[in-house]
Structure 1
Amino acid sequence: MDERLRRPRVCFYTSDYGYGHAARDIALIRGLQETLHAEVIVRTGSPAEFMARSLPGVRVLRVWNDPGVLMDGTVVDKERTLTAVERWLSTWDDCIAGEKAFLHDRGIDLVLSDIAPQPFLAAEELGIPSLGVSNFTWHLIYTHLYGQNELTSRIAEAYRAADGAFLLPLHEPMEVFSDQREVGLVVRPVTRSRAELPGLSSKRPLVYLGGGQSLDPAVFRGIKTALRECTLLVPSWTEIPGTIRIPPGETETQDWIAACDLVVSKPGYSTISEAIRAGVPLALFRRDGFAEDDYLIGGVEHLGIGKEVSTEAVLDGSWTEDLESLMDLRKNFDEIDDIFKRDGTKDCTDIIREMV
């Protein structure tokens, strides 16, 4: 076959940590399929089933990419996280060798990673171009927790092997990447209105209360207090009397975020970006020890579209005392920077088109 006519083959590595990386990667993979007719293979861990349901026809293969962090409530458990990271690094060389064989055998043309570091080294050794896609790196997270050491130096070295990175809005400096490309929000577009979603009433304020799968369900202790003031929407894996649950098996969760009047959540990047795209204000509570939160909470407050709330206020439900003022932040969305209004998926696919 003429090489100019062959569909580009892309291997996409999605972080195993939560579903937020998967949500934005799904948006980009759909864009690659629509605009470049790319043949995409996904390598990921815990989000594999969700990504397979969201991407019919795409091969989603389970692999251990990264350990993330381990939480104790809303606080990073440094000791358990360090044990997990050290175990991860002990498999480093075997992982790179395995991924080299995988990429070579499948004739991959481009490697994308959000934001596992080892694939960049495998791609570099094979001469395959590679790009990062993220708003943060594990180098930032682990340096914040443990300082500069052999562990973080090894991770930085892997990131430097990439040809560049797409920097999503609200990103940290990400200086470990040599070629940095600023892009707009990479989010799945809304496909249904609030009226089209089952079980949602338009009579009371609808608030999404999200803790993420990495957090303990204790974040929902103050649910009874909050229920007096609004209707609460909770993630599909959380079943609490009196709330509305996103249906298990739902793939287009961005539709449910867009239907809300307010999002109360830990600073999960995809939740934040989907809320911004839909014009839904945010109330964010911090994860102690997670360096990414400074950039996300600070950025949202700077834009005037959200505020930080204390963990205690989330736990006891007292955040509802400010419900009206928080929802009123919706008026500030018209003034946000253009980068948040741009189609980041198109930004990325335009650059990738030039590479492949």
Structure 2
Amino acid sequence: MKHLLVDITAHGFGHLAQTAAVLNALDYPDLTITLRSLAPESILRDRIQHDFHLIPYQQDNGMVMQDALNVDPLKSFQWHQQFHQNYEQKLTQAIQELNQLKPDVLFTDIPYLSLDAAHALAIPSIALCSLNWADVFQTYCGQFAGAEKIHNQIIQAYQKATVFLQPTPSMPMPLLHNTQTIEPLTAQGKAQPDVLRQRLELNTRHKLILVSLGGIGIDYPLNTWPQLDNVVWIFPDEVLTQQREDWKPQSQAQMNYLDLLASCDLILTKTGYGTQTEAVINQVPALCIDRGDWPEQPYLRPWHEQQGEVIYIEWSQILQGKWADTIHHLLAQPWTKPRPSHQGAQQAAAYIKKYLAQAN
């Protein structure tokens, strides 16, 4: 049996969404999958259809967030400074751990330490993401003394990947010489709006809005949340600290996330690869919270506007409750755009299969 090791950063759920799409497209007989991440096991198993052995494991932190929308540059730099002050020691440990696991291929989205370790052991490695932590780190932390050395170490680790796959749309990565562009990397759910309304005890005149701001928390302004005729909001369970007739917990839907998304009339989300590409492929209009400083936004926004139905909104408007007209506009907007080709998951899976087949 061949052994695939998968490393997923737990910075939100977008990296999991990309990885899950690839693994679910991977058809390889007699394959053992080991997955290392700090993402919640329940969500990992909800999104990934293969059986896998899970090792709770952290080898990157992405950016330290104040909340779902805002990066804390100083704390992010301090985390990286501490992590990299004994980087060689961490690399030695990572090599030992990789040697014990003995994978035939390493697949990461997008921890870099294990890519460095895999190179040392001559294990084929595939990095995949629409961003990389080196350039994100440079965006928020490049002004701090000592940042250049950290940035260089991260870049050098990414350069050691056998290939770095960039799903459309991605940030430019001019410092990497091993990149390969693939089609959008996303997944299509099974739309079951009638089933969803039945489980939520609603009728056909109700419009359903999924509230999905990712895996990093934020204080929702429930006191000023708009109440609209025949509109029902589906929130993550933990958000609903209050009750209201038009608010439903996500668990009541009894659906996996992609089917739930595909069954809704609209999604409220934030700038981020996973949900934006899923909204387009599932042809669900999106109200997207602007993250002007997030380095992916200049590439995600025009793609989403061209391929889907989306309106950008400031978080300040959400806080003030002044966005009901925007909701009505999106709910009335007909979807006229063709579904774009989205074979990125199959293309990435083909790389994994190729390197697995080549392994001794």
Shorter-chain TM band? 0.7 to 0.9
**In the alignment, residue 5 of structure 2 is paired with which amino acid?**
C
TM-score by length of 2: 0.86
Of the structure 1 ranges 131-140 and 192-201, higher mean CA displacement relative to structure 2 is found in 192-201
Q: 1:319 to 1:353 in 2, by over 3 A?
A: same
Of the structure 1 ranges 127-136 and 297-306, higher mean CA displacement relative to structure 2 is found in 297-306
Alignment check: 8 A CA contact 2:188 2:282 kept: no
CA drift at 1:58: 0.6
Alignment partners' CA distance in 1, 2:40 and 2:174:
28
Alignment partners' CA distance in 2, 1:163 and 1:258:
35
1:354 is paired with a residue whose SS is helix
Q: 1:122 to 1:308 in 2, by over 3 A?
A: same
Count, aligned residues: 344
CA drift at 1:309: 1.0
Structure 1: runs of 5 or more not aligned: 1-6
2:304 corresponding residue in structure 1: 300
Q: 1:219 to 1:285 in 2, by over 3 A?
A: farther
1:247 corresponding residue in structure 2: 251
Alignment check: 8 A CA contact 1:199 1:244 kept: yes
CA drift at 1:109: 1.1
String of CA shifts for 1:260-301, please: whole Å, max 9, x gaps. 111111123221122111101112112354222332223212
TM-score by length of 1: 0.87
**In the alignment, residue 61 of structure 1 is paired with which amino acid?**
I
Alignment check: 8 A CA contact 2:8 2:109 kept: yes
1:86 aligns with 2:81: yes
CA drift at 1:159: 0.7
Alignment check: 8 A CA contact 1:139 1:156 kept: yes
Alignment check: 8 A CA contact 2:108 2:127 kept: yes
String of CA shifts for 1:174-210, please: whole Å, max 9, x gaps. 2343232222333344245122232163322211222
Of the structure 1 ranges 226-235 and 262-271, higher mean CA displacement relative to structure 2 is found in 226-235
Alignment partners' CA distance in 1, 2:342 and 2:108:
22
String of CA shifts for 1:302-355, please: whole Å, max 9, x gaps. 435212111122222322212233235552431x6xxx4223221112232222
2:6 corresponding residue in structure 1: 12
1:346 aligns with 2:337: no
Q: 1:149 to 1:315 in 2, by over 3 A?
A: same
2:114 corresponding residue in structure 1: 119
Match of 2:35 among 32, 35, 42: 42
**In the alignment, residue 354 of structure 1 is paired with which amino acid?**
K
Identity %: 18
Alignment partners' CA distance in 2, 1:258 and 1:29:
20
1:280 corresponding residue in structure 2: 284
1:203 is paired with a residue whose SS is coil
1:298 is paired with a residue whose SS is helix
Alignment partners' CA distance in 2, 1:107 and 1:90:
27
1:174 is paired with a residue whose SS is coil
1:132 corresponding residue in structure 2: 127
Structure 2: runs of 5 or more not aligned: none
Alignment check: 8 A CA contact 1:221 1:316 kept: no
Alignment partners' CA distance in 1, 2:252 and 2:93:
34
Alignment check: 8 A CA contact 1:19 1:47 kept: no
2:231 corresponding residue in structure 1: 230
Alignment partners' CA distance in 2, 1:216 and 1:176:
34
Alignment partners' CA distance in 2, 1:352 and 1:278:
26
Alignment partners' CA distance in 2, 1:249 and 1:48:
20
Alignment check: 8 A CA contact 1:236 1:248 kept: no
